Amino acid sequence: MSNLENKRIVLIVSGGIAAYKALELVRRLRDGGASVRVVMTEAAQRFVGQLSFQALSGEPVHTDLLDPAAEAAMGHIEIARWADGVVVAPATADFLARLRAGAANDLASTICLATSAPILLAPAMNQQMWQNMATKDNVATLIKRGLRSVGPDSGAQACGEFGPGRMAEPVAIAAALADLFVPQTLSGIRVLVTAGPTHEAIDPVRYLTNRSTGKMGFALAQAALEAGAEVILIHGPVSLSAPSGAAAIAVVSADEMFHAVMENIKNIDIFISCAAVADYRIESPATQKRKKNDTSLSLTLTPTRDILKSVTAQSMPPFAVGFAAETENLLEHARSKLERKSLDMIAANQVGVKGLGFESSDNELHVLWKGGQQHLAKAPKEVIARQLVGLIARVHGQKES
């Protein structure tokens, strides 16, 4: 079932060239099971006629703030209260500026100010307008206030230019809107996620590491937050921003990650071990930078402590999910790790394949647990993360009941 089923969506259309694409968005939202009421700015009505939106939504289109008939029943407040979600598509530069300023000088902006429903923006404009500091600043402020944004895409523009500013495709906008209504399957659950690589010092300037970017772990933290969990994210050195709402703890080495996890594991319900923690560290890192010379150099490696095993060895261990990144015999190795480390679930992914896993935006997982398994087909890591979190919530719920 789609997350949009039975949801009441207000679609605000502002006056950009992409307004015609909002017609298809109405179709997509209704296909997903949502009821749609369309509100158009004055400028939007110069681009597309009300009648098309009325026919596609099956509802009258709203345009006028100062309409005596509608306002006899406080129409603007009624629409704002009716909405489960508001989507602005296209969102013009002008509309974004008005939203940021808290303007209420037409029906569309007044509804945005008066609603308590989540708001999704789908900006669309000329690439220079999009890259202008004023627009960037407006969007960043709106996102900081909790609004969501999808797109814009990059490509050829109606004005003949090329660059970022094309409105996201209606199917992507509908998907982003559906994400606002993720079932709260982890409400009241405390989740600890580890992510990214670790750095094991060789000397003050060099280290051993691996190809993990942290993307999968960060996407899992985001998905767990969306499902209503309280999230702690312990991560190694990455160039990603932690999802807002997560308590993020940055560490560098495997040893630091071990301590950070052990200090925070108490009261955790679900532990997702996604970090690519080094198996070995340098036994005695040099305190000064090593100098190059013509002889070969041997480094002595010593095993790091096993974080997952230490977590599951506790007297009251959390529901533990491990990752197995393998280059061969994927399922065999994953099943053995599931048993060996007393895990509740393991997500196995093939690494060393171009376009999947490390340094890639996509992933494909084989998820195994005691009593079941599921294949999550290749998809962007954000999508895989939501699927995996859904699965974790289900199997964790079964174990608890």
Ligand X SMILES: Cc1cc2nc3c(=O)[nH]c(=O)nc-3n(C[C@H](O)[C@H](O)[C@H](O)COP(=O)(O)O)c2cc1C
At its nearest, how many Å lie between ligand X and the CB of residue 84? 23
Considering only CA atoms, which of 17, 14, 12 is closest in space to residue 125? 17
Nearer to ligand X by Cβ, of 9 and 125: the residue is: 125
In angstroms, what CA-CA distances link 143 with 99, 115, 140, 304, 345? 11, 16, 5, 40, 35
State in angstroms the smallest separation of the CB of 130 from ligand X.
8
User: For the purposes of burial, counting CB atoms within 10 Å of the CB of 237, is it exposed (0-12), middle (13-18) or buried (19 or more)?
Assistant: middle
Q: Which of 158, 159, 205, 247 is catalytic?
A: 159
Q: How far apart are CA 75 and CA 53, in angstroms?
A: 19
Provide, rounded to whole angstroms, the least separation between the CB of residue 14 and ligand X.
Answer: 3
> In whole angstroms, what is the distance from residue 200 CA to residue 209 CA?
7
As measured in angstroms, the least distance from the Cβ of 372 to ligand X is: 49
Contact 47, 92 (CB under 8 A): no
CB of 81 to ligand X, least distance (A): 23
**To the nearest whole angstrom, how small is the minimum distance from the Cβ of residue 150 to ligand X?**
16
- Smallest gap from residue 66 Cβ to ligand X (A): 15
Which CB, 44 or 112, lies closer to ligand X?
44
- Residue 129 or 225: which CB sits closer to ligand X? 129
Cross-strand partners of 321: 272, 345
**How far is residue 281's CA from residue 208's CA, in Å, rounded to a whole number?**
8
Interface with ligand X by CB under 6 A: which residues?
A: 14-18, 41, 43-44, 92-95, 124-125, 129
Please report the DSSP string for 216-251 in residue order.
Answer: HHHHHHHHHHHTT-EEEEEE-S-S-PPPTTSEEEE-
Q: Any catalytic annotation for residue 159?
A: yes
Please state, in angstroms and rounded to a whole number, the distance separating the CA atoms of residues 338 and 352.
21
For residue 5, give Cα distances in angstroms to 162, 227, 387: 37, 17, 18
Beta partners for residue 230, in sequence order? 190
- In Å, what is the CA distance from 304 to each residue of 249, 256, 275, 279, 336? 20, 11, 14, 5, 20
- Among residues 95 and 207, whose Cβ is nearest to ligand X? 95
First CA to last CA across the chain, in angstroms? 24
Q: Which is nearer to ligand X, 44 or 227 (CB)?
A: 44
Q: Are 324 and 342 in contact (CB under 8 A)?
A: no
Query: Beta-carbon neighbour count of residue 378 at 10 Å?
Result: 13
Q: Token pair for residue 377? A: 């087909």
Report the nearest approach of ligand X to the CB of residue 122 (Å): 11
Cα–Cα distance between 251 and 352 in angstroms, integer? Answer: 26
Cα 364 to Cα 352: distance, rounded to the nearest angstrom = 13
Annotated catalytic residues are 159
